Amino acid sequence: DIQLTQSPSFLSASVGDRVTITCRASQDIKNYLAWYQQTPGKAPKLLIYAASNLQSGVPSRFSGSGSGTEFTLTISSLQPEDFATYYCQQLNIYPPITFGPGTKVDV
Amino acid sequence: EVQLVESGGAVAQPGGSLRLSCAASGFIFDDYTMHWVRQVPGKGLEWVSLITWDSDTTYYGDSVKGRFTISRDNSKNSLYLQMNSLKSEDTALYFCAKDSLVGATIGEGMDVWGLGTLVTISS
């Protein structure tokens, strides 16, 4: 199984900050990586697919990069609604499809 | 409006069974692979199972293989998860999710999610 690790697991930030979250895969997953945002009590929301493609309707302050085993999610200027938990997900080698453990972005 | 609505969550005893349902609307259901994903409250996401648009292919996570069965009825725009031999570790919020690509076994992400249905396994 592909293992995904995320760093940091917790991130303290302020409105306007530039935030970067890293996701590392235990094997080469090419660009088959997605990023999700989840706020308490809500379902996950797809932000980025194929490592760097912005999902329709997602603000342009979100961006993704990377390939192979190392990927990043960047929020260029953190907004109040961005305080949430972020998960990466690999879709290259399955089953299983795997998620990272999550990164909580908090004040 | 594109929508997924799960139902069927309940309190069940260890060793018991439950059947979850997911009603889809607002998109061509039989064009897409569908997934079940679960989340223990306060914890991370765990992919459970998928079924392709034509039901030809199903996959399961190791923790549920042999106990859970995914199915769909395209005539009813519905997805199901039959859960047998339930364990306490199956306690979670269960989401159904739509794959992002038409006709693909697995696309590039899950672009529509329901709100989830809560399964609690307790004696």
> Smallest CA–CA separation between B44 and chain A, in Å?
6
Q: For residue B18, how many other CB atoms are within 10 A of its CB? A: 21
pLDDT at A59 over 90: yes
Nearest alpha carbon to residue B50 among B63, B67, B64, B36: B36
Specify whether the CB–CB gap between B9 and B96 falls below 8 A.
no
Please report residues of A whose CB lies closer than 8 A to that of B113: 43-45
Phi, psi values for residue A38, rounded to 5°: -135, 125
Specify whether the CB–CB gap between A105 and A83 falls below 8 A.
yes
For A8-22, what is the mean pLDDT?
Answer: 97
Q: What tens-digit pLDDT sequence spans chain B (123 residues)?
A: 999 999 999 999 999 999 999 999 999 999 999 999 999 999 999 999 999 999 999 999 999 999 999 999 999 999 999 999 999 999 999 999 999 989 888 889 999 999 999 999 999
For A92-102, the pLDDT digits (tens) are 999 999 999 99
Point out the residue among B44, B62, B116 whose CB comes nearest to the CB of A99. Answer: B44
CA distance B104 to B111: 14
CA distance A30 to B38: 26
**Sign of dihedral through CA atoms A51, B64, B68, B9?**
negative
A88 to chain B, any CB pair closer than 8 A? The answer is no
Taking only residues 81 to 110 of chain B, the set having a beta carbon closer than 8 angstroms to any beta carbon of chain A reads: 95, 100, 106-110
A50 to chain B, any CB pair closer than 8 A? The answer is yes
- Check whether the bond before B14 is cis (ω within 30° of 0): no
Q: What is the pLDDT of residue B103?
A: 86
Q: What is the pLDDT of residue B20?
A: 98
Phi, psi values for residue A21, rounded to 5°: -120, 135
Please report residues of B whose CB lies closer than 8 A to that of A89: 45, 47, 109-110
Point out the residue among A32, A94, A99 whose CB comes nearest to the CB of B46. Answer: A99
CB spacing of A95 vs B60 below 8 angstroms: yes
Nearest alpha carbon to residue A94 among B99, B93, B19: B99
**Residue A38, beta-bridge partner list:** A85
Distances (CA, A) of A54 to A18, A34, B41, B58, B91: 17, 10, 28, 28, 33
Substitution target in B94, B110, B117, B118 with the highest count of A β-carbons within 10 Å is B110
Nearest alpha carbon to residue B48 among B34, B30, B32, B28: B34
A32 to chain B, any CB pair closer than 8 A? The answer is yes
Point out the residue among A32, A91, A95 whose CB comes nearest to the CB of B61. Answer: A95
The CA radius of gyration of chain A, in Å to the nearest whole number, is 13
Please report residues of B whose CB lies closer than 8 A to that of A87: 44-45
Q: What is the pLDDT of residue B107?
A: 87
pLDDT at A107 over 90: no
**Residue A23, beta-bridge partner list:** A6, A71
